[in-house]
Structure 1
Amino acid sequence: MKLATYQNHTRDGQLMVVSRDLTRAVAVPHIAASLQAALDDWGRCEPALQEVYAALNQGPVNGAVDFDQAACHSPLPRAYQWADGSAYLNHVELVRKARGAEVPASFYHDPLMYQGGSDAFLPPHAAIPLADVSWGLDFEGEVAVITDDVPLGTVAAECASHIRLLMLVNDITLRNLIPAELAKGFGFFQSKPATAFSPVAVTPDELGAAWRDGKVHLPLRVEYNGALYGEPQCGVEMQFSFAQLVAHVAKTRQLAAGSIVGSGTISNHDRSTGSCCLAEQRMIEIIESGEARTPFMQPGDHVRIEMLDASGQSIFGRIDQRVMGND
């Protein structure tokens, strides 16, 4: 099943059921006004939403309209929790190697994770605001899951059953603000502005055989200023599955329905697959030549993030954003 949220001048938007080929959509206020409302009552809402989805894929449905990705907000315009991991250790290894640091052994069995702002996400086709280019704006292509209620202490073996939906992510980062924040010993805050998610969230079964072992086994495609920038495999070298990442959160807190947990930047050791962020390319340049040559994003720069199935069909729609300067 595929779900989206249209912007409608309310905080949580209008829940839409979207056809598998992303061509048609229909509002379902009789089932749930918003995605959060559906997640809060998933046992009742999910079967009814699935019925609408099946009908939409089979033929005309009363009230259906052409699906407009530009009309979408993030599937959850705001969420109770947004926790982002760093499951691709190649990314971590490159960053640390570039500054001459080793990766602590604990990183291989204890996930890195930060808590991002979840009160206001950016729509997937909205401009990325940038008040100061010296802050070092970067994009980060990721995958994320949305959970139902996860009880405190739920172990990884049980967490997979709590994953309800998947989305793509642009985890926007202000790289040049990170060092001073980390030096304070309290982690990211100003260096992590509003995040954007894909127009569509999908249930795991939509991925078929590409969803297994709590991982997505498909490439994530990132285009930057009109050219392919990276297409690494999401299922390769993911140190921690989504079930393990959710369990990491649940160790000391329960997750409310509508909690979002991210994978971290997709990254492969095979450099021919490219990168999903500018920082990684900069780290490779430092390692190879001692100097970063790739600049961070400037006003007018354009990033697109998308995932295609085996037939070339877009699964989640496209994150499509330009940088907007403060002038």
Structure 2
Amino acid sequence: MKLVTFLQAGTERIGAVLEDGRILDFAAAEPRLAVDMLTLIRDQEKLLPLARALAAAPPATALLDAASIRLLAPVPRPLSMRDGYAFRQHVATARRNRGLEMIPEFDLFPVTYFTNHLAVTGPGEVVVQDQHLARLDFELEVAVVTGRPLKNATLEEADEAIFGYMVMNDWSARMLQMEEMKLSLGPCKGKDFATSLGPWLVTKDELDLEKTAAGEILHARMTCDVNGHRLSDGNVDSMTWTFAQILQRSSYGIQMHPGEVIGSGTVGTGCLLELNGSQVTDNLWLKAGDEVVLEVAGLGRLVNTVTRVPERLTGVPPHLVGGILPDLYAGSPSGEMGD
């Protein structure tokens, strides 16, 4: 199923996208489905069969035209959100562009960092301020959502715990990120203002998943267009680490719960930091008004527009707004700028 969270007349509801593009409003069709997405995920054994039966024979009174509603992120308030670093091409290229060798630890274990699960957006506007616009970047990713508890998971348990997949844009304010990473504490202000998810959460039964000894692999082309120009082109199956491996590592020694979001990290060619450093693009960064379209085969098109709001902070450093910008590609052993 292609599951959505949407606003209708100011009320948040969940539903499914049907083959003809119309939206099945679960609450209008079945009172037991008048829940949010996290509840549907947690109670999937009981609620998903009801939802699937309704999608197979939808009542006309519960069908909505897609133009009459506003899509939100499929999981607007995940319990947590991690982002990975799973695509070797992206990591190696980003390091090479900064004069650094490939880090050998990349092949030893998958890594993630926690990002702001309270700053999730869906399709539509992504609101930024001036400091974000100092080399604003997109990141073309895929994310999974956990559907079962996990702790010290095997690869098989990790795969079984994945509820579904969706497109993810890990927006990055590169100037803020470059400065804060020198302190070796991980990304924060360069990442915490927005992460876009959507347009749908696609359950695993809808997808072409190959079972391997390392975990399931999704074969799906990934692209990004900015203002109608194709910039990025990759495939989910080029992940060096599978989502099962990432979840196995993430669940070591801790209890994970249904409704947590885990991103793949950036696919090769999947951000301007990488493309500019490789001279594929010429110092191109996002600006207010730009339309960014991420598309993953089977997962849909996530369309966002960069929208600037007035800067409210005083004393904005001049090197961040209109001043001299440091070189993002100079090698620095004290910080990582690959994601």
Report the TM-score, using the length of structure 1 for normalisation: 0.86
Give how far 1:108 is off: 1.1
1:322 paired with 2:311, answer no
- Residue of structure 1 in register with 2:86 after alignment: 87
Report if aligned partners of 1:74, 1:197 keep a CA contact under 8 Å in 2: yes
Q: Distance in 2 between matches of 1:263 and 1:87?
A: 6
User: Which of the numbers 254, 278, 283 marks the counterpart of 1:284?
Assistant: 278
- Residue of structure 2 in register with 1:272 after alignment: none
- Residue of structure 1 in register with 2:286 after alignment: 297
Q: Distance in 2 between matches of 1:21 and 1:252?
A: 45
Q: Distance in 1 between matches of 2:93 and 2:6?
A: 39
- Residue of structure 2 in register with 1:2 after alignment: 2
- Residue of structure 2 in register with 1:260 after alignment: 261
Q: Give the structure with the larger strand fraction.
A: 2
Report if aligned partners of 1:133, 1:298 keep a CA contact under 8 Å in 2: no
Q: Distance in 1 between matches of 2:128 and 2:225?
A: 19
Deviations 1:185-209 (A, max 9, x none): 2101101021011121111111135
Secondary structure of the corresponding residue to residue 120 of structure 2: coil
Alignment of 1:59-208 (within 5 A): 61-68=60-67, 71-132=70-131, 135-192=134-191, 193-208=193-208
Report the TM-score, using the length of structure 2 for normalisation: 0.83
- Residue of structure 1 in register with 2:242 after alignment: 241
Secondary structure of the corresponding residue to residue 37 of structure 1: helix
Letter in 1 for 2:189: Q
Count matched residues: 303
Q: Distance in 1 between matches of 2:77 and 2:117?
A: 6
Q: Distance in 2 between matches of 1:200 and 1:21?
A: 15
- Residue of structure 1 in register with 2:333 after alignment: none
Report if aligned partners of 1:32, 1:45 keep a CA contact under 8 Å in 2: no
Deviations 1:201-241 (A, max 9, x none): 111111135787422201012111111222212112x1111
Identity %: 27
Judged with a 3 Å threshold, the aligned counterparts in structure 2 of structure 1 residues 44 and 220 are, in CA distance, closer, same or farther, namely same
Letter in 2 for 1:230: S
Report if aligned partners of 1:80, 1:119 keep a CA contact under 8 Å in 2: no
Letter in 2 for 1:74: A
Which moves more between the two structures, 128-137 or 109-118? Answer: 128-137
Report if aligned partners of 1:128, 1:321 keep a CA contact under 8 Å in 2: no
Deviations 1:45-75 (A, max 9, x none): 111111122224xxx5431112249611001
Unaligned runs of 5+ in 1: 268-274, 309-314
Judged with a 3 Å threshold, the aligned counterparts in structure 2 of structure 1 residues 211 and 22 are, in CA distance, closer, same or farther, namely farther
Instruction: State which structure, 1 or 2, has the greater radius of gyration over its C-alpha atoms.
Output: 2
Judged with a 3 Å threshold, the aligned counterparts in structure 2 of structure 1 residues 174 and 197 are, in CA distance, closer, same or farther, namely same
Q: Distance in 2 between matches of 1:232 and 1:128?
A: 27
Judged with a 3 Å threshold, the aligned counterparts in structure 2 of structure 1 residues 65 and 326 are, in CA distance, closer, same or farther, namely closer
Computed over aligned residues only, the root mean square deviation of the Cα atoms, in angstroms, reads 2.2
Which moves more between the two structures, 19-28 or 76-85? Answer: 19-28
Secondary structure of the corresponding residue to residue 194 of structure 2: coil
Give how far 1:294 is off: 2.4
Report if aligned partners of 1:202, 1:316 keep a CA contact under 8 Å in 2: yes
Which moves more between the two structures, 20-29 or 227-236? Answer: 20-29
Judged with a 3 Å threshold, the aligned counterparts in structure 2 of structure 1 residues 69 and 142 are, in CA distance, closer, same or farther, namely farther
Q: Distance in 2 between matches of 1:70 and 1:106?
A: 46
